[in-house]
C-alpha cells in the first residue's frame, strides 16, 4: 500500500464515505486549494484514487479503500502505545535459506502478543555476488517501552520511523524493565564478541566503537 502524507490520509478517510469533488474536499479539510490540488495529483499519480463523472469527483480505488478500512478496524481495537514503521534487512548465502528466515521473522512478529501488525511486506530477493538480500517493511504498534527494546534487539531494524504518538510518557516500571533488558542484551553481546576476538582485535574494535 502506498505511503500517505498526513494530508493524503485525511483525504483518503473522507473518500471512504464516497466520491467527492475538489470543492467538497476543500471545504471539509480547510486546506489551501493549491496544497489540496498537489496532494490530489500525487494520489492520482501513484494510483490511490481515480476520477469519475462530471463535475469531476475523486474516489479511492477499491483495493485501497478495503486496505484503509482494514487498518481502521485494527486501530479501533488497538491499545498499544507506540506505532512505528520499520525496515529489517536480511541476507544469506542461499536463496532458500533467506526465504525461510524471512518467513520465520514475519511469523514471529505476527504472533508476538506485544505487537499489532498493520501491514508486513517482504521485498523481492536480489543476488549480489555470492549473497542473497531482501528486507521486510513492517507497520506495527508496540505495547510499551520494554517491548520496543525487545523489538530493536531481536529484530534489528536497519531503519525505524515513529508514526505516533507525537509525545509519550512511560511508567517508571516499564522504563526500568526496558533498561534492564537492554543492559542484559548489551552485556551478552559484549561477552560474545569478547570470546570471538583476540586481544588485538578487541582493542581495535573498542577503539572504533568509542572514537
Walk along the chain (211 residues) in steps of 10 and give the mean pLDDT of each run: 78 91 90 91 92 91 88 92 94 94 94 95 93 95 95 93 91 94 87 76 64 56
Is there a single domain that holds both residue 179 and residue 156?
Answer: no
**What CATH number corresponds to the domain at position 31?**
1.10.10.10
Give the 3-state secondary structure percentages of the chain, helix then strand then coil, rounded to 5.
55, 25, 25
DSSP 4: P
The answer to pTM > 0.85 is: no
What pLDDT, on a 0 to 100 scale, did the predictor assign at position 202?
A: 63
What pLDDT, on a 0 to 100 scale, did the predictor assign at position 9?
A: 86
Coil vs helix vs strand at 51: strand
What pLDDT, on a 0 to 100 scale, did the predictor assign at position 127?
A: 93
114 inside domain: yes
74 inside domain: no
For 199, the domain range is 171-211
Is there a single domain that holds both residue 129 and residue 159?
Answer: yes
Cα 96 → chain centroid: 25
125 inside domain: yes
Give me the number of domains the chain comprises.
Answer: 3
Backbone angles phi, psi at 112, to 5 degrees: -65, 120
**What CATH number corresponds to the domain at position 116?**
3.30.70
72 inside domain: no
73 inside domain: no
Query: For residue 24, how many C-alpha atoms fall within 13 Å in the half-sphere facing its CB?
Result: 14
Residue 177's H or E segment, with its range, is helix 172-196
Q: Is the dihedral of CA 26, 33, 57, 23 positive or negative?
A: positive
132 inside domain: yes
Is there a single domain that holds both residue 153 and residue 176?
Answer: no
52 inside domain: yes
Amino acid at each position: 500500500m502506498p505511503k500517505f502524507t498526513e494530508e493524503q490520509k485525511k483525504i483518503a478517510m473522507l473518500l471512504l464515505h464516497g466520491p467527492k469533488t475538489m470543492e467538497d474536499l476543500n471545504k471539509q479539510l480547510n486546506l489551501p486549494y493549491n496544497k489540496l490540488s498537489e496532494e490530489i495529483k500525487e494520489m492520482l499519480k501513484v494510483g490511490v484514487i481515480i476520477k469519475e463523472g462530471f463535475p469531476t469527483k475523486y474516489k479511492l480505488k477499491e483495493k485501497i479503500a478495503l486496505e484503509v478500512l482494514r487498518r481502521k478496524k485494527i486501530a479501533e481495537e488497538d491499545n498499544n502505545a507506540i506505532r512505528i514503521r520499520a525496515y529489517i534487512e536480511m541476507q544469506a548465502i542461499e536463496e532458500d535459506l533467506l526465504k525461510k528466515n524471512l518467513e520465520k521473522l514475519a511469523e514471529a512478529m505476527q504472533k508476538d502478543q506485544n505487537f499489532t501488525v498493520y501491514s508486513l511486506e517482504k521485498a523481492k530477493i536480489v543476488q549480489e555476488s555470492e549473497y542473497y538480500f531482501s528486507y521486510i517493511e513492517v507497520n506495527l504498534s508496540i505495547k510499551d517501552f520494554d517491548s520496543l527494546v525487545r523489538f530493536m534487539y531481536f529484530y534489528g531494524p536497519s531503519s525505524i520511523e515513529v508514526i505516533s504518538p507525537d509525545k509519550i510518557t512511560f511508567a517508571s516500571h516499564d522504563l526500568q524493565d526496558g533498561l534492564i533488558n537492554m543492559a542484559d542484551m548489551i552485556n551478552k553481546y559484549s561477552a560474545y564478541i569478547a570470546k570471538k576476538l583476540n586481544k588485538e582485535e578487541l582493542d581495535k574494535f573498542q577503539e572504533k566503537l568509542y572514537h
